[in-house]
Structure 1
Amino acid sequence: MTVQHDNIAIEWLGYATVRIDGSAQTIYLDPGRYGVLSGEWEPDSERGRAHPAARDYRAQDGDVVCLSHVHHYDPDGIDRVLDSDGTVLACDGINPRQSSRDLPRLVDIDHAVQETGTEDEQILADTPIWTVPSYNEPDGPHTRGDGSPFHPEGRGCGFLLGIDGTRVFWPGDTDVLDGHAQLDVDIFLPPIGGAFTMDRHEAAELAEALDPELVVPIHYNTFEALETDSEAFAADLAERGVDVAIDE
């Protein structure tokens, strides 16, 4: 399913992968992982069926890939979505050596790569892109048993995109942080799976504060730790007077 909002088409392709089409650009956010683009992903529970089906996806039409942090760095996913002339915009906190996977350095992949800080701005494919800090608070609700964050500060970012005059906010793998609610957002793409990010309740509260024109939740039901009730999330937002589209 593709969600249409004015001139923008949004498609959740599974896990954190989102494809955004504007009138003159195609942008992907964190493409790949867990077989969602290779056709290998399978639901491991009944809730997992409320998730985009896996497919062998190789559009290679992306002008920009926005890459938030090392957990979502998937070279095969990038190859599947990025045009040969496209650019990877990667958070400068990404260090492949901090991953248990055998990952190439970003400078060694066969694509143009531009690094960005966690509070930065640039224009790629005629699209203003601002980065926003993305992390879990130490000793907060989304940490390991010893209180250490799954996503330490400085290693990842979220993205705010200005597409056809519409501001699309994809916060990345993060808690709700100070400053999020002050952003000017038209379309909000929150993770709602909890465990490693804000959960559906926290995302709903932030959505109410942001008061966007539309909310499209992502990053849930890919595997057991991310299971959540998307219908309950939609009902919660409806009670708060916020429009939501569930792309499953």
Structure 2
Amino acid sequence: MKVSYHGHSVVKIETSNHTILMDPFISGNEACDLDADTVKADVILLTHGHNDHVGDTVDIAKRNEALVVAPNELANYLESKGLNTHPMHIGGKHDFDFGRVKFTQAFHGSAYTEDDGTIIYTGMPAGILLTAEGNTIYHVGDTGLFSDLRLIGEMNEIDVAFVPIGDNFTMGPEDALVAADWIEAKIVVPVHFNTFPLIEQDAEDFAKKVQTGQGRVMQIGEEMKL
């Protein structure tokens, strides 16, 4: 399995038979190295409905005939756009041919803003536990610190956790360090930072301070093998 980071909260997972994109915010994201017109994906996993996470989902999914797995209301909205979706909700898990997906809680918002300014409610925000080929990846999603992260860490052997550190809209570095201790992942990767000035952070400093597991800053496009 190969896992790569592509700016903001964009994560790509390549298994033996599938390419999975998480929160593919590509167009309009200067921190992303992917091309929305050519990127391949068999599956798209979404944590919530904000535009900087849904991103290019509609175009990518249509071009690739990809399955979109998302919280129920967001999945229903995207189905109305002609996408093949699988709705889920917090606490639920499902076994797909590419692996097991379980949605966890996250404390944030979730709404999609149309081009004309119309705001569409897209249900509860979430984190995503993806287990495939013997590895578990936890995309924490956009969230503040909450104590059940400790329980999620105790219940799952997490190989890589993608944890937001940007502050203002999500956890900042101090709270994210507590979250990293509770999650107990083998590798902790900071995300959701430096996309724009309001969420600028020193990711290297955060990674050095991670006490439980290895803090690792992934450069844009960098890949790790699990």
TM-score for both structures, normalised by structure 1: 0.72
Residues 8 and 32 of structure 2 are in contact (CA less than 8 Å); yes or no, is this contact kept in structure 1?
Answer: no
Asked whether the equivalents of residues 181 and 210 of structure 1 are also in contact (C-alpha less than 8 Å), the reply is yes
Following the alignment from structure 2 to structure 1, what is the Cα–Cα distance between the partners of residues 125 and 169?
13
The one of 48, 52, 64 equivalent to 1:84 is 64
* The one of 1, 4, 21 aligned to 1:11: 4
Count of residue pairs brought into register by the alignment: 202
Matched, 1:171 2:140: yes
Residue 246 (structure 1) aligns with:
217
* CA positional deviation for 1:173: 0.9
Q: What amino acid sits opposite 1:113 in the alignment?
A: T
Per-residue Cα deviation, 1:73-126 (whole angstroms, up to 9, x for no partner): 546344236763421012124399xxxxxxxx3123232011111221112233
State the identity %: 25
Deviations 1:189-237 (A, max 9, x none): 1011111111112111221222221112111110122111101101111
For residue 90 of structure 1, what is the amino acid of its counterpart? A
1:130 pairs with 2:102: yes
Tell me, in whole angstroms, the C-alpha distance in 2 between the residues paired with 1:14 and 1:128: 24
- Residue type of the alignment partner of 1:76: D
For the Cα contact (< 8 Å) 1:28–1:66, is it kept in 2?
A: yes
Structure 2: how far apart are the matches of 1:109 and 1:136?
A: 24
Q: Do 1:10 and 1:20's aligned partners in 2 also have CA atoms closer than 8 Å? A: yes
2:194 to 202, 209, 221: 221
- Is 1:30 matched up with 2:23? yes
Give the distance between the partners of 2:69 and 2:32, measured in 1 at CA: 27
CA distance in 1, matches of 2:37, 2:16: 21
The letter for the 1-side match of 2:149 is H
Unaligned runs of 5+ residues in structure 1 are: 1-7, 43-51, 97-104, 138-151
The yes-or-no answer on 1:209 pairing with 2:209 is: no
CA distance in 2, matches of 1:89, 1:136: 19
> CA offset at residue 31 of structure 1?
0.8
Alignment partner of 2:125 out of 152, 156, 162? 156
Q: Aligned pair in 2 of structure 1 residues 17, 124: CA closer, same or farther (>3 Å)?
A: same
TM-score (norm 2): 0.78
